[in-house]
Amino acid sequence: MSPELIATLAVIIAAMAFDYTNGFHDAANAIATSVSTRALTPRVALAMAAVGNFIGTHFGAGVAKTVGDGLVKLPEGVPSLGVVFAGVCGAIVWNLLTWYFGLPSSSSHALFGGLVGATFFAADAKIEWATITDKVLIPMVVSPVVGLVLGFGVMLAILWIFRRGNPGKLNRGFRVAQTVSAAFMSVGHGMQDAAKTMGIIVLALYTGGFQDSSTDIPWWVFWTSAAVLAAGTYAGGWRIIRTLGRKIIDLGPAEGFAAEVVASSILYFNALVLHAPISTTHTITSAIMGVGATKRLNAVRWNVAGNIVIAWITTFPAAAAISCVVYFCVRPLFHA
């Protein structure tokens, strides 16, 4: 095999590993609220999320093109594939660290940080700071704020509309509704997060010289990315599921439904309209906080929320730093 083929395969394997860790790290995004309110059993919820992720992947082409063509510019050749490999490995390491501590950090921002960190020290490579600012950094700040505000507003509307309803009947009804909202959330997660893996694979194929376009996505990339993300999701990241579903706030069925509706709406809008690769973790977590704040401000465990926000802030630079170390370790292999 040629050096280009070996290097490209190494990147694709690393991207699949990231895709899998993304699945079990972010499974909580789609199902934590449904599991905590007992709308769904854990395994049924995970199976539904896996299917939803698989379906959603096939609608994420716009996000994949942003990741594959818009964030960094690399010259063709094996050394550039070493940059992509190091970036993906940096994201994997950060995913595993935050999973271990049960922190719902952003796999997306870990990947973006990893790419930027590895590219920073690579010769003849360029970081597209304008795109990163517009498509990554601004949404990183705006989407949690929007999730918080909309979560608060939607929950207030639900409380007012159903203010005279029977609590028992309403809880049963919202548990059924959560089945639908969780399904929409899992499809939105697939649109966003599997698309990022697809973008990395396309970047590797283009950089390795195996396709002429940096935006065309082969059919097999859709299917493999979808299948691996679904498998990782079904494996389930229980540490993070417990954090999102129980430690931030004690959720009821109505609160879970409101949070999922808000988060999935934001994901769909960004994936299908803006083609912006936003964080599903930031979106659902902030929606949960907003929903919980309608009870009373101290109903939200702000100390837990504070730890999560710290993880959000540190994800991009931490993954970048890890990828720099990986890059300097693997660079001799990709320059050989």
pLDDT tens digits, residue range 137-190? Answer: 888 788 888 998 999 999 999 999 998 888 888 888 998 888 888 888 889 888
pLDDT attached to residue 90:
93
How many Å apart are CA 116 and CA 230, to the nearest integer?
27
* Alpha carbon separation from 197 to 51, 300, 309 (Å, rounded): 17, 33, 24
**Alpha carbons 192 and 57: distance in angstroms, whole number:** 8
pLDDT of residue 283: 84
d(CA 116, CA 41): 39
Domain range for residue 53? 3-334
Predicted local confidence at residue 275, as pLDDT: 78
pLDDT at 55 over 80: yes
pLDDT in tens, 75-131: 888 888 999 999 999 999 998 888 777 776 777 888 889 999 999 888 777 888 888
Please tell me the distance from the alpha carbon of residue 285 to that of residue 211, in angstroms, as a whole number.
38
- Six-digit token string for 37: 């309110």
Residue type, 226: A
The whole-angstrom separation of Cα 147 and Cα 156 is: 14
pLDDT of residue 42: 74
pLDDT at 299: 56
Q: Tell me what pLDDT residue 98 has.
A: 81
pTM (two decimals): 0.83
Count of domains observed in the chain: 1
CA distance linking residue 184 with residue 168, whole number of Å: 25
Q: What is the pLDDT of residues 210-256, one digit of tens each?
A: 888 877 889 899 899 888 988 887 776 555 555 554 555 567 888 88
Give me the chain's average pLDDT, please.
83
For residue 133, give every residue at least 6 positions away whose Cβ sits within 8 Å of its Cβ, in sequence order, or none.
none
Position 66 confidence tier, pLDDT thresholds 50, 70, 90: confident
Contact between residue 261 and residue 154 where contact means Cβ atoms under 8 Å apart: yes
